[in-house]
Structure formats: structure tokens, C-alpha cells
């Protein structure tokens, strides 16, 4: 029998205005495919979950601001963010996420307690300790799991972002309405 998903308290969910997503290990399974073209040009590929993408779009449709803060620089991340309409995309090869998020909060006029962060590894730990809703994926590191108040059943890159979106929007009592709107917009 599959475990039940964790619930997010309604008061916490309603306070959230900004959702910050890590990429590698959260939006992807953490794998990086590298190679080169016949001309020797390096290429990097990542696998993103399509259902996660719809979860991101639903959070945005609900009026939540979604940002990406990654500890790796990757063109694949830039491309996926553009597909999802995410305009705040920060990639820092040194994985210094806390100052990036601090600048984002100042720019958006958002407080730490109004932020949800979905992370998986040590680079996410410092900001997870400050946000109002620290969340993680099932396959996160031990330290990150201990810092989180919400944990997905799904692993990163395998529906964890979608699971988080459903939990957050469900706690806000918006998920069903958004699903109905989504269907109506597609003629159903």
C-alpha cells in the first residue's frame, strides 16, 4: 500500500507567496547526461518530468510566484524554465543560494515566512532553515529531510514537484478549482 501524502497546514499554505525550486534532484532525477556533437561541441541533457511542469503552471495560475535557484549552471535549466514561463532563474556554480534568495525577497517584497522552498541537498539547507515552508523530495539527503516540514512520496524528477503543487494548492483550497479551469480552457 502506497503511503499517504503529507498535508500542509492551511494557514501555512495561504501565507506562501513565493515558491523556490531547486533543479538537480528536485525538478530532475539528479542525473546529468553529457556528451559531444560530432564536431566536438559539448552537450548536456537533463530529464524533466512533464507532470511536474503542469504543477509549476498551476502554482503560477494560482498567483504564486515561482522561481528557480540552482547550484549548477546549465542551458537545459534555462530552456526548461522558459518553457514553463519562469522568469526568475538563478544559477550559481558555487551553490550560494542564500544570498540569491535574499536578493529575490528584497526585489519582490516578500518575507522569509512567505516562501516555500523545495530542495534536496546540502546547498538547499541554509535557505530551508529560514523559509516559512521548508519542503523536500523523498530521496533528499538526511540533513535536508530533517530540516523539512513537508516531504514528497515521489523522488525528485519523478513527480515530486507536482505532488508539492497539489499539496500546497490543495491546502489553499484552490486545486480543484484550478483543475476545473484547466479542463474548461481545453474545451471540457
pLDDT tens column, 167-181: 999 999 999 999 999
pLDDT at 2: 61
Helix (H/G/I), strand (E/B), else coil: 182 = helix
pLDDT tens column, 76-89: 999 999 999 999 99
pLDDT tens column, 34-69: 999 999 999 999 999 999 999 999 999 999 999 999
Cα 31 to Cα 28: distance, rounded to the nearest angstrom: 7
- Please state at what angle helix 50-61 crosses helix 160-171, rounded to 10 degrees: 30
Domains with residue ranges and CATH for the chain = 10-185 (3.40.50.1000)
Question: How big is the chain by its Cα radius of gyration, in Å?
Answer: 16
Amino acid at each position: 500500500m502506497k503511503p499517504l501524502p503529507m498535508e500542509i497546514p492551511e494557514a501555512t499554505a495561504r501565507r506562501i507567496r513565493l515558491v523556490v525550486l531547486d533543479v538537480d534532484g528536485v525538478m530532475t532525477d539528479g542525473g546529468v547526461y553529457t556528451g559531444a556533437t560530432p564536431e566536438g561541441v559539448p552537450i548536456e541533457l537533463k530529464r524533466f518530468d512533464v507532470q511536474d511542469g503542469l504543477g509549476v503552471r498551476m502554482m503560477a495560475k494560482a498567483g504564486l510566484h515561482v522561481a528557480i535557484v540552482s547550484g549548477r549552471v546549465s542551458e537545459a535549466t534555462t530552456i526548461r524554465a522558459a518553457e514553463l514561463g519562469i522568469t526568475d532563474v538563478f544559477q550559481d556554480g558555487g551553490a550560494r543560494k542564500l544570498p540569491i534568495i535574499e536578493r529575490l525577497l528584497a526585489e519582490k517584497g516578500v518575507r522569509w515566512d512567505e516562501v516555500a522552498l523545495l530542495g534536496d541537498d546540502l546547498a538547499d539547507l541554509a535557505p530551508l532553515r529560514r523559509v516559512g515552508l521548508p519542503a523536500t523530495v523523498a530521496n533528499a539527503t538526511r540533513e535536508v529531510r530533517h530540516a523539512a516540514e513537508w516531504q514528497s512520496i515521489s523522488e525528485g524528477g519523478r513527480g515530486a514537484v507536482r505532488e508539492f503543487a497539489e499539496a500546497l494548492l490543495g491546502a489553499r483550497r484552490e486545486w480543484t478549482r484550478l483543475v476545473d479551469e484547466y479542463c474548461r480552457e481545453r474545451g471540457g
